[in-house]
Every structure is written in structure tokens, then in C-alpha cells.
Amino acid sequence: MSIASEINDQFKQNYEKEFSSELKSLLLNEDFIDKQLMNNEDPVELSIRKWDKIYHVFKIISDELFPYMYYGSFIKFIGYKTCALCISSSKKYAALRGEVKYQEDKCKVCPLAEIERCIDKDSTYLKIETGFSFKMRDVKMHSTESLQKQHEELDENILKMIFNLKKVK
């Protein structure tokens, strides 16, 4: 086997890394969010805590040589299933107006949507989701500078999300 083949095989083994159980334990999962909401925790406070933890883990992986290898692992921790505001807004909308038929229905009663709707094309949330959807197979299409810029933009957007949530409070 050539050195190039060995390097390629090694790269494929590390293609996209999952978080270690230690890193996962730092993040708020769907079950935790549901339990906290059932215990009447404030959805805004819970959302701030969620994004603070996401940012903390993001900073930890930032020390890695290829932090973008971990981006895909964030996806299940950032979406509507772990969004206390989304969950509580869906319930509130259903109680006020009936079934939530469209994604934007819950935005009508979401306090964050007064600042910025997550479903809007250029929203902070969608920029974060797009950034974390980066696939390692696309790495060849990016320069080191481009990857660094993307990482910095993710950093800025996560901080903006936290800032926006604190404005809601």
C-alpha cells in the first residue's frame, strides 16, 4: 500500500467525527429539554443555556486541527427538537389557535421571532445550521482561509444567537 493510500484511508477513518460521550454530556439533548419544560423552566433561560453550552463545546473543538470534522455532530443539538422556545411556542399556538399546520405558525407566538425568525432565509439560526452542515468530503473545495473564515462566522453567529436570546429576556 502506498503512503498516499494509507493517508487517504486514515483520513476516511476520521472523515467526520462524532462527539465523545464527554462532549455530548456537555450539551442539552431533546429529553433534557422536554423534562425541564415539564418542570416549568423558563423557555428563554433554557434556550440561553442550550446555546451557551453549544458555544462552549464549539470553543473546545476549535482547538482541534480540523474542527469542522465535528460540525455534523452539532446538528441534533441545535434544531427545533432541542429548542425550548420552539416547543413552548408550538404548545402556546396550539392552545390559542389550534393545530400548528405550518412552520411559521409557532413563530407568531415565539418571543425570539420578534427579533428574528429562525426560519427566515438569512436568519442567524439558518446560518448556524448551514455552517454545521459542512461535510468533510467538501474540504477539497475550500482553502484553509475559507475554512477558517467559515469557523469564525459560526463563532460570530452562535454569539449572536445568545445575544438575541438575552435581548428577549
User: From residue 148, how far is each of 72, 96, 137 by CA, in Å?
Assistant: 17, 45, 17
User: How far is Cα 114 from Cα 106, in angstroms, rounded to an integer?
Assistant: 12
128 by Cβ neighbours in 10 Å (0-12 / 13-18 / 19+) ranks as buried
Mean pLDDT by 10 residues, the chain (169 residues): 51 66 96 97 98 98 87 93 96 93 93 96 96 71 80 96 96
pLDDT in tens, 130-166: 999 876 556 666 777 888 888 999 999 999 999 999 9
